[in-house]
Amino acid sequence: MLRTISLFLFIGLISCNQTSSNEGENTASDKVLELKYATGFAIDYFDGYKIVEVKRPYMNAKTSFKYILVSDESKVPVSLQNERLIQVPIKSIVCTSTTHIPLLDYLNESDKLIGFPTTDYISSGKMRARIDEGLVKDLGVDSDINLEELISLDPDMIMAYTIGGDYGQFNKMEQLGVPAILNAEYLEEHPLGRAEWLKFMAAFFNKEAMADSIFTEIEEKYNSLKSISNKATERPTILSGVVYGDTWYMPGGKNYASTIMRDAGGDYLWASDSTSGFLELSFEAVYDKALDADYWIGVASFETLQAIEEADNRYADFAAFKNKKVYTYNARKGAKGGSEFLELGYLRPDLILADLIKILYPNQIPEHELYFHKQLE
């Protein structure tokens, strides 16, 4: 499913041709998974099985979800036999968010995806090739997945997510024999915390060691870029988001998008806000505070300055608009129009950061060319 809850996301490619699908798998001695930034899940290792806990499966959740990943069922204690048991490594999976797709690609497990709701949203070249070959079944609209088609695929699991805690559809899937695993990556506040959910996906393929290596490379690139922007003596002011209906939506001060803008050396005008989700403001409130902002980054689906002005002529009053310092994150789209930014963004915050530094401080990384962002004309 195309995740639209983010107005500000981004990503890039990290050498997706890493090793063969068997390389990087854990050995019996791998008993600890280090999580540096992610707070939403944990993995405990035991002889013959491991317990994966999603600590906050959705916003305001009161309970966590646990999954028992089994390599030797004879060693699973009786006390866990009634929990969700999943034989690993899994051989097939259905995913429900485009953000799950790069996790499979980077782990060299693209061939395990056999179903997805509305496959047109997928941008990944590897996955589009599989879709074109008829190897990935389109399961209809994500909020109403075709259960008959799902059951006919007989996947080892479905990786799902829920925004408001509605588990009804997933209960039906589990009653029909398909384990539903909740991925709550979107709740992580730190950009690298979201990227670290690569290790969550890896646990189902016994590839935690491989995932850890990939993540370390992303982390190092991110922190290296951050050290460059930290040298800036002046911080350009930034406005983000657009109006939907009567409401201007933009990242809250604790939202991961705000963190990336800060790490890029920008002064996001709502950075002091304590909201981790998205702010819902009036046009007038934004107008009063951000009229003179230096940059406007993240304008949803708008593709030209003219289109922005036609939507509301007051947009043209902003200094960033007048100075043509307005940037979209939708420079790249998949073969069917899906947003590469919204698909890859959670996994590659280092490339978001590189784009933003290039926008704010063009001379700091002269070799970098904007990947997901482009300036509107």
Dihedral (CA of 116, 119, 125, 129) sign: positive
> Rounded mean pLDDT of 292-313?
96
Superfamily of domain covering 232-375 = Nitrogenase molybdenum iron protein domain (3.40.50.1980)
> Rounded mean pLDDT of 260-274?
96
pLDDT at 54 over 50: yes
Predicted pLDDT at 31: 55
Convert the pLDDT of each residue in 304-323 to its tens digit: 999 999 999 999 999 999 99
For residue 32, the number of C-alpha atoms closer than 13 Å in the C-beta half-sphere is 3
Dihedral (CA of 284, 263, 161, 331) sign: positive
In whole angstroms, what separates CA 315 from the centre of its chain?
29
Q: 10 Å Cβ neighbour count for 234?
A: 9
Query: Rounded mean pLDDT of the chain?
Result: 90
DSSP 74-94: GGS-GGGTTSEEEESS-S-EE
Residue 263 and residue 80: Cα distance in Å, rounded?
Answer: 43
Q: Does domain 41-221 have CATH number 3.40.718.10?
A: no
pLDDT at 213 over 90: yes
The two domains 41-221 and 232-375 share their CATH topology (first three levels equal)? yes
Predicted pLDDT at 279: 95
pTM: 0.89
107 burial (CB, 10 Å; 0-12 / 13-18 / 19+) is buried
104 Cβ neighbours under 8 A, 6+ residues apart: 93, 95, 110, 112, 113, 127, 201
Question: By percentage, how much of the chain surpasses pLDDT 90?
Answer: 80
Pairing, β 93-95 against β 84-87? unpaired
pLDDT at 2 over 80: no
Give the domain ranges of the chain.
41-221, 232-375
Dihedral (CA of 131, 135, 138, 142) sign: negative
Convert the pLDDT of each residue in 125-151 to its tens digit: 999 999 999 999 999 987 789 999 999
